[in-house]
């Protein structure tokens, strides 16, 4: 089994997360090779933005920007950027933001 060492310095692009109620994100598989599924339980109907950014904060892909009903939600990321180009191996940040809730987590693409 390979081992990855990840070092983070400074802010990793999860602004305004601490001022909102936490929205728990589940990512499987993580690490991913080709695709992964992001799931969360939305407490109430809300406009939500789910996006992928590089570890340096550069936006890679917008997965959702819509009003969703409350309940369990699933979104699949196919490892592509907004232009349909596969992203390189690395660490990425998945962010989910609503007016009241926010969640973020890291995902490793290999």
Q: The domain containing residue 35 runs over which residues?
A: 21-109
Tell me the CATH number at 40: 2.60.40.4070
Over the stretch 39-58, which tens digit does the pLDDT of each residue have? 999 999 999 999 999 999 99
pLDDT value at residue 20 = 82
Domain membership of residue 98 (yes or no) is yes
Over the stretch 73-108, which tens digit does the pLDDT of each residue have? 999 999 999 999 999 999 999 999 999 999 999 999
pLDDT value at residue 104 = 96
Count CB atoms within 10 A of the CB of residue 12.
Answer: 16
Over the stretch 22-33, which tens digit does the pLDDT of each residue have? 999 999 999 999
CA dist 108 to 56, 71, 83, Å?
14, 27, 20
- pTM value is 0.81
Mean pLDDT of 59-82: 98
Count CB atoms within 10 A of the CB of residue 14.
Answer: 18
Rounded distance, CA 53 to CA 65, Å? 15
Look at the chain and report how many structural domains it folds into: 1
Cβ neighbours of residue 85 closer than 8 Å, sequence gap 6 or more: none
């Amino acid at each position: 089994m390979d081992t990855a060492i990840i070092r983070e310095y400074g802010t990793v692009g999860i602004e305004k997360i601490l001022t909102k109620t936490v929205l728990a994100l589940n990512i499987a598989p993580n690490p991913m090779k080709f695709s992964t599924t992001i799931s969360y339980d939305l407490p109430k109907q809300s406009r939500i933005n789910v996006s992928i950014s590089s570890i340096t904060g550069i936006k890679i892909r917008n997965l959702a920007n819509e009003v969703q009903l409350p309940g369990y939600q699933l979104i699949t990321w196919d490892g592509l950027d907004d232009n349909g180009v596969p992203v390189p191996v690395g660490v990425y940040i998945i962010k989910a933001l609503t007016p009241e809730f926010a969640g973020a987590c890291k995902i490793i693409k290999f």
